[in-house]
Amino acid sequence: MKQSEFLNVVMPFKDKLYRLAKRLLVSNEEAEDATQEILMKLWAKKNKMEGYKSVEAFAMTMTKNFCLDRLKSKQAGNLKLVHSNYSDESSSLQTQLEAKDSINWVQRIMDELPEQQKMVVQLRDVEQYGYDEIEALLDMRPTAIRVALSRARKTIREKLTEKHRYGIG
């Protein structure tokens, strides 16, 4: 596989790899390093890519495993789980501040979720993967995915409701 072919295959989902890494590894630098590492590993496997059913699914799985290994390693002392890929230049300053505050609240709530629920919410609600793709990426049964997603959404909804109703009544 030539470099141009490799770029045509990998570049369309490069940002998804970064967002998943960012979800798992707080800092932009760590996420960029992880993404670069995965791209290097993919380049090393470029001749075997044609044998994969979905290069994107393979790359997402590699990213997930790499980031989880990184979190488990001794170097992970200063890493947390966070994510934000929201920006809207056209809205007013107040709207931007409110949106940023809401995102920060959801991030805090997601920090408290179990690891599996974080991954499912990230892949389904942020990256908009289908259930079959999540099943392949996380090696989970469809029922388990739906249960984890339902529980995570319920927790997020309840905690946001608590926050917004706090002090009222």
Distance of alpha carbon 107 from alpha carbon 21, whole angstroms: 15
147 versus 95: the higher-pLDDT residue is: 147
What pTM did the predictor assign? 0.54
CA triplet 138, 120, 89: central angle to 5 degrees?
125
How far is the C-alpha of 143 from the C-alpha of 149, rounded, in Å? 10
Residue 111, pLDDT > 60, answer yes
**DSSP characters over the chain:** --HHHHHHHHGGGHHHHHHHHHHHS-SHHHHHHHHHHHHHHHHHTGGGGGG-S-HHHHHHHHHHHHHHHHHHSGGGGG----------TTS-HHHHHHHHHHHHHHHHHHHHS-HHHHHHHIIIIIS---HHHHHHHHT--HHHHHHHHHHHHHHHHHHHHHHHHTT--
How far is the C-alpha of 10 from the C-alpha of 56, rounded, in Å? Answer: 7
Percent of the chain surpassing pLDDT 70: 86
pLDDT at 76: 45
In the chain the domains, ranked by start, together with CATH numbers, are 3-78 (1.10.1740.10), 93-165 (1.10.10.10)
Segment 146-158, tens digit of pLDDT: 999 999 999 988 8
**pLDDT above 50 for 74:** no
**Residue 142 near residue 131, CB atoms below 8 Å:** yes
Give the whole-angstrom CA distance, residue 41 versus residue 63. 10
pLDDT tens figures, 15-32: 999 988 888 887 788 889
